[in-house]
Chains A and B, each alone.
Chain A
Amino acid sequence: MEILNQISEYLQQGDDDKVFALTKEAIEQDLNPKVILDNSLIAGMNIIGEKFKKHEIFLPDVLMSAKAMYAGLDQLKPLLASKGISGLGKVVIGTVQGDLHDIGKNLVGIMLKGAGFDVIDLGKDVPPEKFVETAKRENAKLIGMSALLTTTMTNMKKVVDLVRKDNSDIKVIIGGAPVSKEFADEIGADAYAYDAGNAVECVKELI
Chain B
Amino acid sequence: MINILKRIKSNKILVADGAMGTMLFARGLKPGEPPESINLKKTEILEEIAQAYLDAGAKIIQTNTFGASPLKLSDYGLQYKTEEINRIAVERVRKVIENKAYVSGSVGPSGKLLKPFGDTEPEDIYLSFKRQMKALINASVDLICIETMTDLNEATLAIKAAKSFSPEIPVMATMTFDETPRGFYTIMGVSIEDAIVGLQKAGADIIGSNCGNGIENMIKIAHEFNKLTILPIIIQSNAGIPEMKDGKLFYSETPEFFAEKTKELIDAGVSIIGGCCGTTPDYIRTIRKVVDNYIGKE
- Answer yes or no: are A and B bound together in one complex: yes
* One of B31, B117, B243 near A149 (C-beta < 8 A): B31
Interface: B116 (CB within 8 A)? yes
Decide yes or no: A180 and B111 within 8 Å by CB, A60-B188, A98-B32 being known contacts: no
B111: contacting residue among A58, A98, A100, CB under 8 A: A100
> Is B296 located at the chain interface by the 8 A CB criterion?
no
Q: Please tell me if the beta carbons of A180 and B241 are within 8 angstroms of each other in the complex.
A: yes
Q: How far is the CA of A100 from the CA of B187 in the complex (A)?
A: 18
A96-154 contacts to B, CB under 8 A, are 97-101, 103, 125, 149-154
> Do the beta carbons of A183 and B188 come within 8 Å of each other?
no
The residue on A at minimum CB distance from B151 is A60
Asked whether, in the complex, the Cβ of B116 is within 8 Å of the Cβ of A150, the reply is no
Q: Which residues of A contact B77 (CB under 8 A)?
A: none
| CB-based nearest B residue for A99 | B32
B113 in contact with A103 (CB, 8 Å): yes
Contacts of A149 on B, CB cut-off 8 Å?
Answer: 21, 31
Would B249 and A59 count as touching, CB distance under 8 A?
no
Measured in the bound complex, the distance between the Cα atoms of B188 and A63 in whole Å is 10
Mark contacts of A35-46 with chain B using CB atoms, 8 A cut-off: 1 yes-contact digit, 0 otherwise.
000000000000
Asked if B15 lies at the interface with its beta carbon under 8 angstroms from chain A, I say no
The answer to whether A63 touches B243 (Cβ under 8 A) is no
Q: How far is the CA of A54 from the CA of B249 in the complex (A)?
A: 30
Task: Enumerate B247-286 residues with CB–CB distance to A below 8 Å.
Answer: 247, 249, 277-278
Q: Within 8 Å of chain B (Cβ to Cβ): is A57?
A: yes
Q: Are B113 and A98 in contact (CB under 8 A)?
A: no
User: Which residues of chain B are near A186, meaning CB under 8 Å?
Assistant: 244-245, 247
Q: Is A155 an interface residue (CB 8 A)?
A: yes
Do B185 and A58 have beta carbons less than 8 Å apart? yes
The A26-75 residues at the B interface (CB cut-off 8 A) are 54-55, 57-61, 63-64, 67
Q: A59 contacts B117, CB within 8 Å? A: yes
Query: With a CB–CB cut-off of 8 A, which chain B residues contact A60?
Result: 117, 188-189
Q: Is B227 an interface residue (CB 8 A)?
A: no
Q: Is B244 touching A180 in the complex (CB atoms < 8 A)?
A: yes
**A64 pairs with B243, CB closer than 8 A:** no
CA distance A54 to B181 in the complex (A): 8
The chain B residue with its CB closest to the CB of A58 is B189
Assess A151 versus B118: contact at CB under 8 Å? Given A58-B185, A59-B187, A103-B113: no
Q: How far is the CA of A180 from the CA of B249 in the complex (A)?
A: 11
> CB-defined interface of A164-191 with B at 8 Å, one 1/0 digit per residue?
0000000000000110101100110000
Which residues of chain B from 224 to 247 have a CB within 8 Å of any chain A CB?
A: 241-245, 247
- In angstroms, how far is the closest chain A Cβ from the Cβ of B204? 22
CB < 8 Å neighbour of B21 from A55, A151, A154 = A151
B25 within 8 A of A: yes
Q: Is B180 in contact with chain A by the CB < 8 A criterion? A: yes
Give bound CA distance, A63 to B114, whole Å: 11
* CB of A50, distance to nearest CB on chain B (Å): 14
**Nearest 3 CB-CB pairings of A with B:** A98-B32, A58-B189, A55-B180
Q: Can you identify 17 A-B contacts, CB atoms within 8 angstroms?
A: A55-B181, A58-B187, A59-B117, A60-B117, A67-B116, A98-B31, A98-B33, A99-B32, A100-B75, A149-B21, A150-B277, A151-B25, A152-B32, A155-B31, A178-B241, A183-B244, A186-B244
Chain A positions near chain B (C-beta within 8 angstroms): 54-55, 57-61, 63-64, 67, 97-101, 103, 125, 149-155, 177-178, 180, 182-183, 186-187
